[in-house]
Structure 1
Amino acid sequence: MGAISIRNNKLVLGFRFNNVRCREQTQLSSTPINRKRMEKLLKVIEAEILTKNFDYSKYFPESNMVGKFAELNQRKQTASQYFNSPDAPTVKEFADIWFAEKEVEWRKSHKESIEGILESHILPAFGKMKISVIKKQDILTFRAALAKVQTRTKKTLSASRINHIMTPLRMLLNEAADRYEFTTPWKNIKALKIPRTEVNPFSLGEVERLIKTAPDDFKAYYTVRFFTGLRTGEIDGLHWDKVDLDKKQLYIDQSLVKGEMTDAKTDGSNRTIQLTDRVVSALKVQMQATKHLGSFVFCKKDGKPFNYQTISRVIWEPMLKRLKLKYRNPYQSRHTFATLLLASGESPEWIAQQMGHTTTTMLFRVYSRYVPNLTRQDGSAFDRYIETQGEDNA
């Protein structure tokens, strides 16, 4: 909506053109007659802007904005001519350029993840299209199709996985739009809402049963896993030089991801974990079994690290079936550790440090509902506090 203002007793026209705020001062004094003239002119200008017939130089030939809009228009024409030509890059062509430029920034695991998403999802859907002609509707249709894809277990892709697949597409389109000066179609497309983290910890009794039923050469593995809260990559990548049994500590600063040792997940993941006597005992047993094989604490007979997918399929899933426990992925061992620590009354700050969280916020948001003492809302804990304090002061 345009407006008329006054500066130095002269009328000033204000309006928006091509998403740019424009202000043009006239030489007309602020009188009722002149204001009416300008109001009519402003309506004409706005109508021409709306119908895309507005020529800035026609109304304001001396304005500095004329040159600016002429330059912008030339850039748009150049870009339009390029992308409407037979030589316009396809998504596949630009993806090759973009990937080659970006891969130097990525870890091997992330590089392989992006490469897999491009080959399995993005390029089959968009590879032959000119990158400039992709529309918002194409993106939304692609996302809707992903929601119908089934995994090998006959489940549909999770919202988190779909968002993960959409991220490289967004990066490709936005980079191409910036580089070749066309308007990105990725506008007002929000990521799918991800459900709250699924936390389904085991009870202490279930943990004991799982460790008891584990094969002998995996009892130490699951003892350490359940009672340290290590992530899969952290325990599978644990080296003996990170274990100090005299001090009862583990030093975590690296992780095994897709067979490659990498730095820890985040800065907060670099941490020192205090070990219970039970874990120390398990590691002493493990030391006799694998230390002579190489650097990995938990490994195959040839000293090479475990493949977590194989261990999950061959060891973990059969254990759950034998005990008739509902299937839960191995990561629930970490959630179990957190809930057991909270239930035992350990300091939340100390627990967060053991878990590799920089604050206690996530700890309470994710785990507190599994700990009766932290979620009780009947006031009984406060009643006991009042009673005991009253008795002490009597």
Structure 2
Amino acid sequence: MPRAAQSSTGVIVRDAHLQIDLRRHGFGKERLDMPPTPSNIKYAEKLRNEILGKIERGTFALADYFPDSPRCKTDAPSTTWGQLATEWLKIKKPAVQHSTMHHYQQTLGSLHFDEVRGKHMADFDYRMLMGLLAKLPENPKTFNNIATVIKQVLHYAYLAKTIREPLHEHIAMRRRQEPEPDPFDLAEVDVLLSKFTEEEARDYYEFAFFSGLRPSEQIALRWTRADLRSGTVKVDIALTRGKEKGTKTSSMRIVELSGRALGVLERQRARTQLAGGHIFLDRTGEPFAGTDGPLNDWWKPAMKVSKLRYRDARQTRHTFATMCLMAGNRPAWAAGQLGHSPEMFFRVYSRWIKGADHGAERNALDAFISPQTGTKTGTEKPNST
């Protein structure tokens, strides 16, 4: 039987190697592959004291000292950033849309994380975090998209006790100026629609301008969601990154179609209703695989020959919103048509809302506070006769 002896310093001496006893600190007897000579024993005692100091400070990672230990797999601080990110993705997957998961996977697999992917979480501190953030793209939107994912991973790491400090609280998003809507006016809409060389393309974008649907919602729209008698469509599906999911707001809405949008559906009946599937199809008669199809095949060529100032196809939705306001529709109704919350609608379209009533609200106020009406507020003296 091999001889084993333990000194009062927590070093176990065996015939061919040494062990450092960490059982009282949540680990085990960790092996050092060195013969039990007096100098090696002294080295092991110093090493143990160093480890105990790190355990006390919460910075000890078993894999840094004993990478072959079977206990490394259960030691949270020994987990690398890459391993933790993979673990977090597995946990998030059932709770998010596939498009969101795709964004998370692309972000965490990008070059931005190459320097930290193999780092143990025990070594991930404030300085490392700040260094990682400093190397991200300067563009506020891009920075925020990546930093948001980092923040979520570090929050999970803190709750899972792979790090002791709530590093996620030190991540500040960058302020960015949201681009304002840049809608078309009605005359520009008609000019652009006249430049589409295919009837299907012209109808597709006429529906986009006069229904206000998101592109991802329009390409997923089916005849089973359309009610031509009531002039409505039910919007509850969007096609994003090749897969169908719920709408951007994860809520269903009933859209009351304008006359021009309803006219498009009447024309589409002869083209696609018999098949019973999607309302809008590409030029080969197949459902669109993504929003790039109508954009590249139809929108960009028509914009090029229209001589109008270039705007992207998302402005069809902004155009619908501003047309509703210019027509005198109530902002709350327009917000419901677009699937916006009233708060978001007012924030995005406040400039158009201010002038949408054509002075009617101010005139009503002036009429109320004018001297003529002011004498009827109940403050005048009663007639003595």
Asked if Structure 1 and Structure 2 have the same fold, meaning a TM-score greater than 0.5 normalized by the shorter chain, the answer is yes
Matched, 1:166 2:156: no
**2:147 maps to amino acid:** M
Code of the aligned partner of 2:140: A
Cα deviation digits, residues 75-109 of structure 1 (max 9, x gap): 74565253744542221122222222221222221
CA–CA distance in 1 between the matches of 2:83 and 2:311? 42
CA contact (8 A) 2:326 2:357 kept: no
Match in the other structure for 2:328:
345
Secondary structure of the corresponding residue to residue 254 of structure 2 = strand
Match of 1:175 in 2: 156
Assess if the C-alpha contact under 8 Å between 1:159 and 1:194 holds in 2.
yes
- Determine the C-alpha separation between the residues in 2 that align with 1:279 and 1:114: 37
1:357 paired to 2:340 = yes
SS of the aligned residue for 1:325 comes to coil
Q: How much does 1:307 deviate?
A: 2.1
- For residue 181 of structure 1, report the CA deviation from its aligned partner: 4.5
Question: Quick check: 1:143 aligned with 2:123?
Answer: no
Alpha-carbon shift at residue 170 of structure 1 (Å)? 1.7
Match of 1:235 in 2: 218
Give the percent of matched residue pairs that are identical in Structure 1 and Structure 2. 25
2:314 aligned to 327, 331, 337, which one? 331
**Alpha-carbon contact 1:200-1:335 (below 8 Å) kept:** yes
| Inter-CA distance 161–293: structure 2 relative to 1 (3 Å threshold) | farther
> Gaps spanning 5+ residues in structure 2: where?
1-52, 68-77, 374-385
Deviation (angstroms), 1:303: 2.8
Distance (whole Å) between structure 1 residues aligned to residue 99 and residue 151 of structure 2: 20
Q: 1-side partners of 2:141 and 2:311: how far apart?
A: 18
Alpha-carbon distance in structure 1 between the residues aligned to 2:309 and 2:344 = 25
For this pair of structures, how many residues does the alignment match? 309
Superposed CA offset, 1:360-386 (max 9, x none): 32222211313562498xx89635874
Provide closer, same or farther for how the CA distance between residues 81 and 113 of structure 1 changes in structure 2, counting only shifts above 3 A: closer
Contact 1:296 1:305 in 2 (8 A): no
Q: Indicate conservation of the 8 Å contact 1:256/1:262, yes or no.
A: yes
Query: What per-residue deviation string (whole Å, max 9, x for no partner) do you get for residues 233-292 of structure 1?
Result: 11111011111111101111111111211122225x421111122211111111211223
Task: Select which of 320, 339, 362 maps to 1:382.
Answer: 362
2:79 is matched with which residue?
89
CA pair 339-85 structure 1, distance change in 2 beyond 3 A: farther
> How does 1:3-82 map onto structure 2 within 5 Å?
76=56, 80-82=60-62
Contact 1:90 1:128 in 2 (8 A): yes
TM-score (norm. length: structure 2): 0.71
Distance 2:166 2:147 in 1: 15
Which residue is 2:33 aligned to?
A: none
Provide the secondary structure at the position in 2 that maps to 1:80: coil
CA distance in 1, matches of 2:215, 2:114: 32
Change (3 A) 1:211 1:85: farther
8 Å CA contact retained: 1:143, 1:166: yes
Distance 1:306 1:325, change over 3 A: farther
Is 1:208 matched up with 2:190? Answer: yes
Q: Which amino acid aligns with 1:344?
A: A
Distance 1:172 1:384 in 2: 54
1:369/1:375 contact within 8 Å kept: no
CA distance in 2 between partners of 1:74 and 1:245 (Å): 71
Instruction: Report SS of the residue matched to 2:255.
Output: strand
| TM-score, structure 1 as length reference | 0.70
Contact in 2 for aligned 1:92/1:127 (Cα 8 Å): yes
**Structure 1 partner of 2:46:** none
Taking the aligned partners of 2:85 and 2:66, their CA distance within structure 1 comes to: 18
Contact 1:197–1:366 (8 Å) recurs in 2: no
Q: Which whole-Å CA distance do the structure 1 matches of 2:54 and 2:119 have between them?
A: 25
Contact kept? 1:135, 1:185, Cα under 8 Å = yes
**Distance change (3 Å), C-alpha of 1:248 and 1:84:** same
Residues 83 and 322 from structure 1, CA distance in 2 versus in 1: closer, same or farther, beyond 3 angstroms? Answer: same
CA RMSD, 1 decimal: 3.1
The residue that corresponds to 2:174 in the other structure is 192
- The whole-number CA distance in structure 2 between the counterparts of 1:125 and 1:259 is 32
Q: Distance in 2 between matches of 1:194 and 1:102?
A: 27
Q: Deviations over 1:292-323 (max 9, x none)?
A: 34511112334322421232223212222212
